[in-house]
Amino acid sequence: MLLLAGIALAFYWVPMAPLEGFRQRIFYIHVPVALTAYACFGWGAWKGLRLLWTRDQRHDLESYTAIHIGTIFGILTLVTGSIWARTSWGVWWSWGERQLVLFLVLFLFYSAYFMLRYSVDPGPRRANMSAVYALFGVVLIPISFLAIRLAEDLIHPVVFDRDVGTNLAGSQLFTFVVCLAGMLVLAAALYLNELTGKRVDARLRELRESLA
Protein backbone atom coordinates (compact mmCIF):
# COMPACT_ATOMS: atom_id res chain seq x y z
CA MET A 1 0.00 0.00 0.00
CA LEU A 2 2.71 2.33 1.00
CA LEU A 3 4.53 1.52 -2.20
CA LEU A 4 1.58 2.51 -4.33
CA ALA A 5 1.16 5.72 -2.42
CA GLY A 6 4.83 6.50 -2.94
CA ILE A 7 4.74 5.91 -6.66
CA ALA A 8 1.50 7.81 -7.03
CA LEU A 9 2.91 10.78 -5.19
CA ALA A 10 6.13 10.72 -7.11
CA PHE A 11 4.62 10.64 -10.56
CA TYR A 12 1.19 12.08 -10.40
CA TRP A 13 2.25 15.56 -9.47
CA VAL A 14 4.98 15.97 -12.01
CA PRO A 15 2.73 17.00 -14.88
CA MET A 16 1.55 19.79 -12.66
CA ALA A 17 4.44 22.11 -13.42
CA PRO A 18 5.39 22.12 -17.09
CA LEU A 19 6.86 25.56 -16.85
CA GLU A 20 10.26 25.06 -18.44
CA GLY A 21 9.73 22.51 -21.06
CA PHE A 22 9.48 18.80 -20.80
CA ARG A 23 13.21 18.16 -20.38
CA GLN A 24 13.42 20.00 -17.13
CA ARG A 25 10.94 17.61 -15.58
CA ILE A 26 13.60 15.02 -14.96
CA PHE A 27 14.91 17.33 -12.29
CA TYR A 28 11.92 16.33 -10.18
CA ILE A 29 13.01 12.75 -10.33
CA HIS A 30 16.76 13.05 -10.43
CA VAL A 31 17.33 15.24 -7.38
CA PRO A 32 14.83 13.47 -5.10
CA VAL A 33 16.41 10.17 -6.09
CA ALA A 34 19.83 11.53 -5.21
CA LEU A 35 18.65 12.92 -1.88
CA THR A 36 16.90 9.67 -1.09
CA ALA A 37 20.09 7.77 -1.82
CA TYR A 38 21.93 9.98 0.67
CA ALA A 39 19.18 9.33 3.20
CA CYS A 40 19.50 5.56 2.69
CA PHE A 41 23.27 5.64 3.11
CA GLY A 42 22.86 7.75 6.21
CA TRP A 43 20.29 5.34 7.60
CA GLY A 44 22.56 2.40 6.80
CA ALA A 45 25.42 4.06 8.62
CA TRP A 46 23.17 4.85 11.57
CA LYS A 47 22.10 1.23 11.78
CA GLY A 48 25.72 0.22 11.55
CA LEU A 49 26.53 2.47 14.46
CA ARG A 50 23.67 0.95 16.44
CA LEU A 51 25.08 -2.48 15.69
CA LEU A 52 28.49 -1.55 17.03
CA TRP A 53 26.95 0.07 20.09
CA THR A 54 24.49 -2.61 21.08
CA ARG A 55 25.96 -5.68 19.37
CA ASP A 56 22.38 -6.54 18.46
CA GLN A 57 22.66 -8.53 15.25
CA ARG A 58 19.30 -7.38 13.95
CA HIS A 59 20.87 -4.08 13.01
CA ASP A 60 23.18 -5.80 10.57
CA LEU A 61 20.33 -6.78 8.29
CA GLU A 62 18.78 -3.35 8.62
CA SER A 63 22.05 -1.66 7.74
CA TYR A 64 22.61 -3.97 4.79
CA THR A 65 19.12 -3.45 3.44
CA ALA A 66 19.37 0.31 3.76
CA ILE A 67 22.64 0.35 1.87
CA HIS A 68 21.24 -1.98 -0.73
CA ILE A 69 18.31 0.32 -1.37
CA GLY A 70 20.66 3.29 -1.27
CA THR A 71 22.88 1.75 -3.92
CA ILE A 72 19.89 1.11 -6.15
CA PHE A 73 18.87 4.73 -5.79
CA GLY A 74 22.46 5.70 -6.42
CA ILE A 75 22.44 3.82 -9.71
CA LEU A 76 19.16 5.51 -10.56
CA THR A 77 20.76 8.86 -9.80
CA LEU A 78 23.57 8.10 -12.20
CA VAL A 79 21.14 6.95 -14.88
CA THR A 80 18.72 9.85 -14.52
CA GLY A 81 21.61 12.26 -14.29
CA SER A 82 23.05 10.82 -17.45
CA ILE A 83 19.73 11.15 -19.23
CA TRP A 84 19.46 14.73 -18.06
CA ALA A 85 22.96 15.46 -19.28
CA ARG A 86 22.10 13.95 -22.61
CA THR A 87 18.93 15.97 -23.04
CA SER A 88 20.39 19.21 -21.78
CA TRP A 89 23.87 19.18 -23.20
CA GLY A 90 24.03 16.31 -25.63
CA VAL A 91 26.59 14.22 -23.78
CA TRP A 92 25.98 11.14 -21.68
CA TRP A 93 28.58 12.03 -19.08
CA SER A 94 30.20 15.20 -17.82
CA TRP A 95 33.03 15.34 -15.32
CA GLY A 96 32.02 18.88 -14.53
CA GLU A 97 28.77 17.69 -13.04
CA ARG A 98 29.58 17.41 -9.34
CA GLN A 99 26.63 15.33 -8.24
CA LEU A 100 27.25 12.74 -10.90
CA VAL A 101 30.92 12.42 -10.10
CA LEU A 102 30.13 12.17 -6.40
CA PHE A 103 27.64 9.43 -7.06
CA LEU A 104 30.13 7.61 -9.21
CA VAL A 105 32.60 7.58 -6.35
CA LEU A 106 29.89 6.51 -3.92
CA PHE A 107 28.72 3.83 -6.31
CA LEU A 108 32.24 2.40 -6.38
CA PHE A 109 32.47 2.60 -2.63
CA TYR A 110 29.18 0.87 -1.94
CA SER A 111 29.73 -1.74 -4.62
CA ALA A 112 32.87 -2.64 -2.71
CA TYR A 113 30.59 -2.94 0.32
CA PHE A 114 28.78 -5.81 -1.35
CA MET A 115 32.06 -7.39 -2.41
CA LEU A 116 33.06 -7.22 1.22
CA ARG A 117 29.90 -8.93 2.34
CA TYR A 118 30.23 -11.70 -0.20
CA SER A 119 33.82 -12.50 0.61
CA VAL A 120 33.45 -12.81 4.37
CA ASP A 121 31.53 -15.62 5.99
CA PRO A 122 28.28 -14.57 7.64
CA GLY A 123 28.45 -13.85 11.31
CA PRO A 124 29.17 -11.14 13.81
CA ARG A 125 32.57 -10.48 12.27
CA ARG A 126 31.06 -9.63 8.93
CA ALA A 127 28.39 -7.55 10.60
CA ASN A 128 31.01 -5.51 12.42
CA MET A 129 33.10 -4.95 9.33
CA SER A 130 30.10 -3.94 7.28
CA ALA A 131 29.02 -1.50 9.94
CA VAL A 132 32.44 0.10 10.12
CA TYR A 133 32.57 0.33 6.34
CA ALA A 134 29.12 1.93 6.27
CA LEU A 135 30.35 4.56 8.73
CA PHE A 136 33.34 5.26 6.50
CA GLY A 137 30.94 5.67 3.63
CA VAL A 138 28.85 8.28 5.27
CA VAL A 139 31.96 10.24 6.22
CA LEU A 140 33.22 9.89 2.68
CA ILE A 141 30.19 11.65 1.25
CA PRO A 142 31.06 15.17 2.38
CA ILE A 143 34.81 14.62 2.00
CA SER A 144 34.36 13.41 -1.56
CA PHE A 145 32.13 16.34 -2.32
CA LEU A 146 34.82 18.71 -1.10
CA ALA A 147 37.42 16.83 -3.08
CA ILE A 148 35.39 16.99 -6.26
CA ARG A 149 34.86 20.70 -5.79
CA LEU A 150 38.60 21.16 -5.37
CA ALA A 151 39.30 18.90 -8.30
CA GLU A 152 37.20 20.91 -10.68
CA ASP A 153 39.93 23.47 -10.96
CA LEU A 154 42.38 20.74 -11.81
CA ILE A 155 40.49 18.61 -14.29
CA HIS A 156 38.84 21.19 -16.46
CA PRO A 157 36.73 24.23 -15.90
CA VAL A 158 33.02 23.71 -15.59
CA VAL A 159 31.81 24.01 -19.12
CA PHE A 160 28.16 23.39 -18.67
CA ASP A 161 25.94 25.65 -16.72
CA ARG A 162 23.14 24.03 -14.91
CA ASP A 163 19.96 25.92 -15.41
CA VAL A 164 18.13 24.68 -12.38
CA GLY A 165 18.89 27.55 -10.12
CA THR A 166 18.19 27.73 -6.45
CA ASN A 167 15.20 29.98 -6.83
CA LEU A 168 12.33 27.76 -7.70
CA ALA A 169 8.97 29.27 -8.36
CA GLY A 170 6.21 28.46 -5.90
CA SER A 171 4.52 25.67 -7.77
CA GLN A 172 7.85 24.19 -8.79
CA LEU A 173 9.04 24.11 -5.22
CA PHE A 174 5.82 22.47 -4.18
CA THR A 175 6.16 19.86 -6.88
CA PHE A 176 9.73 19.24 -5.90
CA VAL A 177 8.89 18.77 -2.25
CA VAL A 178 6.08 16.40 -3.11
CA CYS A 179 8.36 14.38 -5.36
CA LEU A 180 10.99 14.26 -2.69
CA ALA A 181 8.45 13.07 -0.15
CA GLY A 182 7.25 10.51 -2.64
CA MET A 183 10.75 9.21 -3.27
CA LEU A 184 11.48 8.92 0.43
CA VAL A 185 8.25 7.06 0.97
CA LEU A 186 9.10 4.79 -1.94
CA ALA A 187 12.52 4.09 -0.49
CA ALA A 188 11.05 3.41 2.92
CA ALA A 189 8.52 1.06 1.42
CA LEU A 190 11.18 -0.82 -0.52
CA TYR A 191 13.33 -0.95 2.58
CA LEU A 192 10.58 -2.39 4.76
CA ASN A 193 9.60 -4.77 2.03
CA GLU A 194 13.10 -6.12 1.57
CA LEU A 195 13.79 -6.26 5.29
CA THR A 196 10.64 -8.20 6.01
CA GLY A 197 11.35 -10.54 3.16
CA LYS A 198 14.85 -11.27 4.39
CA ARG A 199 13.68 -11.74 7.95
CA VAL A 200 11.07 -14.21 6.80
CA ASP A 201 13.70 -16.08 4.80
CA ALA A 202 15.99 -16.25 7.80
CA ARG A 203 13.17 -17.45 10.04
CA LEU A 204 12.20 -20.08 7.51
CA ARG A 205 15.75 -21.30 7.35
CA GLU A 206 15.94 -21.50 11.12
CA LEU A 207 12.75 -23.50 11.27
CA ARG A 208 13.92 -25.85 8.59
CA GLU A 209 17.20 -26.43 10.36
CA SER A 210 15.54 -27.11 13.67
CA LEU A 211 13.19 -29.58 12.07
CA ALA A 212 15.88 -31.44 10.22
**Contact residues: another protein, CB under 8 A:** 52, 105-106, 108-109, 111-112, 115-116, 119-121, 123-125, 128-129, 131-133, 135-136, 139-140, 143-144, 146-148, 150-151, 153-154
Work out the angle at residue 187's Cα, subtended by the Cα atoms of residues 190 and 58, and round it to the nearest 5 degrees: 60
Question: Closer CB to another protein, residue 22 or residue 118?
Answer: 118
Nearest approach in angstroms of CB 158 to another protein is 16
Nearest approach in angstroms of CB 161 to another protein is 23
Question: Closer CB to another protein, residue 35 or residue 129?
Answer: 129
Question: Closer CB to another protein, residue 60 or residue 172?
Answer: 60
CA-CA distance, 76 to 9, in Å (whole number)?
Answer: 18
Nearest approach in angstroms of CB 73 to another protein is 18
Closest by Cα among 118, 125, 137 to 45: 137
Question: Which three-class secondary structure string do you get for 30-41?
Answer: HHHHHHHHHHHH
> In terms of DSSP H, where are the helices of 55-169?
58-89, 98-119, 124-155
Question: Closer CB to another protein, residue 119 or residue 167?
Answer: 119
Phi, psi of 11 (to 5 degrees): -105, -25
Closest by Cα among 193, 170, 173, 186 to 8: 186
Q: Cα–Cα distances in Å, from 105 out to 67, 79, 97, 99, 100?
A: 15, 14, 13, 10, 9
Question: Closer CB to another protein, residue 91 or residue 115?
Answer: 115
Nearest approach in angstroms of CB 3 to another protein is 31
Nearest approach in angstroms of CB 94 to another protein is 18
